[in-house]
Chain A
Amino acid sequence: MIVETGHYALVLALALALVQATLPLWGSRKNDPALMAMAPSAAIIQFILVAIAFGALTWAYLTSDFSLANVVQNSHSQKPLIYKLSGVWGNHEGSMLLWVLILAFFGALVAVGGRRTPQNLLATTLAVQGWISGAFLLFILLTSNPFARMLPPPAEGNDLNPILQDPGLAIHPPLLYLGYVGFSITFSFAAAALINGRIDAQWARYVRPWTLIAWIFLTLGIAMGSYWAYYTLGWGGFWFWDPVENASLMPWLAGTALLHSATVMEKRDALKIWTIFLAILAFSLSLLGTFLVRSGVLTSVHAFATDPQRGVFILAILVFFIGGSLALFALRGPLLKAGGIFAPVSREGALVLNNLLLTTSCATVFVGTLYPLALEALTGDKISVGPPFFNYTFVPLFVPIFLAMPLGQVLAWKRGDLLGAAQRLVVALIVAICGGLILAAMQGEPVISAVFAGLSLFVIVGAFVEIWGRISGGGLSPSVMFARATGLPWSAWGTAIAHAGVGVSLLGLAATGWGVEKILAMRPGDHVAVGPYEVTLDKVEPRPGPNYDETVAHMTIRSGGNAISTIEPSRKFYRARQMTTTDAGLRTFSLGQIYAVVTEQNSNGEIDVRLYWKPYVALIWIGAIIMALGGAISLADRRLRVGVARRARQAAMQPAE
């Protein structure tokens, strides 16, 4: 009964999405407030309905209701509770339902939080949102129904893919989807602006918080996925330029460009057409990512043929929204009036450079990911575009970005002074050179690691130069400086912190060159030096788990002869799926990590062990968290809070402070 309720709620949500997609749009054309007012209510109720459907599926998973085909295929009665829960979105149907749930959630947020947005813009935006959710609800109901029954129900399920039975992967998809789908709001705002034919700096203000929210979650989602790959795939790599990873990187790059161009639009009323284009692009790439991952077209070209219905359906959605929005853009874009003027050397100029390099890198990922598909379709030749291609093209694009980041921050709006800006960065440069030299002396070869570490220090210190310039001044007392620091807009701090986060991640990447690797066969009692530590294999023993059998290697880590920690790398054999996974043993020491993986025991009692010392590796993900934190601080800025814009305008009428 609960399952049927969920199914029914999903159908109702579709009907409501269609209402939301049409009537408010009509109302906005005819300037009918009653019709336009339907949009927020429809969005909120639609969210409640999808939430009911999602709740019903979750209930079926938690109670192991094996009369549902979806539960049978992806769950098991013995599975730990958290994975019963994460199993809801650990499969195609459930993850699409989560996608729509988040879409409806954002729609409801806009409806609740957008009360101060002009009614016309709000109604059109929510109508576009209705089109998107309508398309995906239809997709779920027609091709990917999670509520399909299986009769007669089997006594036991097939279990969730063991690789997905991991806390990291339990929260990775929701984070990533919050990012992907968050860009739908920006997209809807952009489409609404084009439909209504009105766009100004005020529009950028309404949109910026939504872009920031999407960007924060996407940043965290990508970092989470990367850390998951690092500790579960079993060989310590954290980014493989895999098509699925690229699918999440493309919207991130476009979204990062969008954040920056929206700033120019908000502050200087320039780059309007470009900002609208990026807003369309960011969500189009999110849709493309969903298509690539969900249709299976990338991992294997043949998966497309095995389920052509789904692939073709998502492709149709893709063509409709990307094609439709681009057509709208071509039609209405030229009507938008261009805004403020600026010199090439200025804050705007630096942000244009940022946009050029970010969108070029985004295009590079796009070409590299889809080129093999296109070539095979056209000529039948099969080629691989692997990590070497992306490394060759990405590093030259990102080095100028890192160099320009601090420079752009200290340039003035409208017209900047390059020499003056460079002089303000002397401190950052000195820190970078000294730090690079010190690290080179400490860690040794390769030199390039020290060079990149120096560059990362330049980015980190350079990120705060602008703020320092605003709070310091000839002979100010610390208390005055503190007052000035707290008086700065939060978005200034957010920018500095997010930029510093980029530098922190880069430092972690640079340090990978200083890593140590040991691959060897060990017997219990053997020990080996890995970087500054010594690792001893104490014993290897079996250990039973809830839905798997485990072989655990107990190891002790010593520093200077003293045992400081233990690790337990293991291999798990999942009974239901007859699959083996490796669990790395990890221990963090002052930002570096000892990383151990074992393979099965040989007949002579030896066990193959791979041990790594990865100095500063944790910085890669800490940097991403700092970036997200910067975004969150920026989000908390008064100026961005909903409704503040209007009050601020009223305040501006009176004499300022």
Chain B
Amino acid sequence: MRATSLLRYLFLAVSLFAASAAHAVEPSEMLADQKLEARARTISAGLRCLVCQNQSIDDSNAPLAKDLRVIVRERLVAGDSDDAVRDYLVARYGEFILLKPPLNTGTILLWTATPAILAAALIVVFLRRRRPVRELADELTPEEAQKLAELLEKRGK
């Protein structure tokens, strides 16, 4: 598999697990246009219910979450793009509303932490390799051979 397609699959995987979480959206709120509704669901899953403990507005039964779901749908019906809807809400509620923090000066450490830690760990393991592989010889040293012979002899008795 080429690197680009592998990467694509990873991102698909990501969206798959993201989509497996939950839904508290109500039938009366849903849009008749299925494409728009699907977009609304995806956007909602990435927005935090601000008064809840770590729930997206798509998951939450809180009244505020319902209001936000309705706003998302109103903006979509008005013709906004997905990003425009998110920007509209960020302008009013701040970046706190985004469950996926945007990459900026405040979050650069967050997003780079995992690759940085993995790279650092790999470097440490590489540097701490204790001896080159060729020293793991298959033949025994004379001392080892002698000791083995002694042991075998002892066992034979």
Contacts and interface: CB of A to CB of B under 8 A. Distances in A.
Best-surrounded residue of B30, B106, B114, B133 (most CB of chain A within 10 A)? B114
Contacts of B44: none
A386 B20 contact: no
A640 B46 CA distance: 47
B40 interface: no
Nearest to B6: A399
B142 interface: no
Interface in A366-380: 367-368, 371, 375, 379
A296 to B, nearest CB: 11
Contacts of B17: 387, 391, 395, 509, 512
A78 B23 CA distance: 33
Interface residues of A, number: 63
B35 interface: no
A387 B56 CA distance: 9
Given A356-B121, A395-B10, A396-B10, A386 B48 contact: yes
Interface stretch (B72-80, B81-89, B94-102): B94-102
A502 to B, nearest CB: 16
B91 interface: no
B133 A344 contact: yes
Contact of A344 (B16, B27, B61, B129): B129
A443 interface: no
A382 B97 CA distance: 9
B83 to A, nearest CB: 15
Contact of A363 (B59, B117, B125): B117
A397 B113 CA distance: 13
Interface of B: 9-10, 12-14, 16-28, 30, 46, 48, 53-56, 59, 61, 94-101, 106-107, 109-110, 113-114, 117-118, 121-122, 125, 129-131, 133, 135-136, 155
B23 A519 contact: yes
Given A341-B130, A356-B125, A387-B99, A521 B10 contact: no
Contacts, number: 159
B26 A386 contact: no
B135 to A, nearest CB: 8
A381 B95 CA distance: 9
Contacts of B23: 235-236, 517, 519, 610
A256 interface: no
B27 A383 contact: no
Interface of A: 233-237, 240-243, 299, 338, 341-344, 352, 356-357, 359-360, 363-364, 367-368, 371, 375, 379, 381-389, 391-393, 395-397, 399, 414-415, 446-449, 451-452, 509, 512-513, 515, 517, 519-521, 599, 608, 610, 655
Contacts of A299: 53
20 contacts: A235-B23, A237-B20, A338-B130, A343-B136, A360-B114, A360-B118, A363-B113, A384-B95, A386-B54, A388-B46, A389-B100, A395-B17, A396-B10, A397-B118, A446-B12, A446-B16, A448-B9, A448-B13, A513-B19, A608-B28
A391 to B, nearest CB: 5
Contact of A519 (B27, B113, B121): B27
A513 B110 contact: no
Contacts of B95: 381-384
A640 B109 CA distance: 43
Contacts of B99: 384-389
Contacts of B97: 384
Nearest to B29: A519
Contacts of B19: 512-513
B20 A367 contact: no
Nearest to B60: A235
Given A364-B113, A391-B14, A452-B13, A383 B101 contact: yes
B27 A521 contact: yes
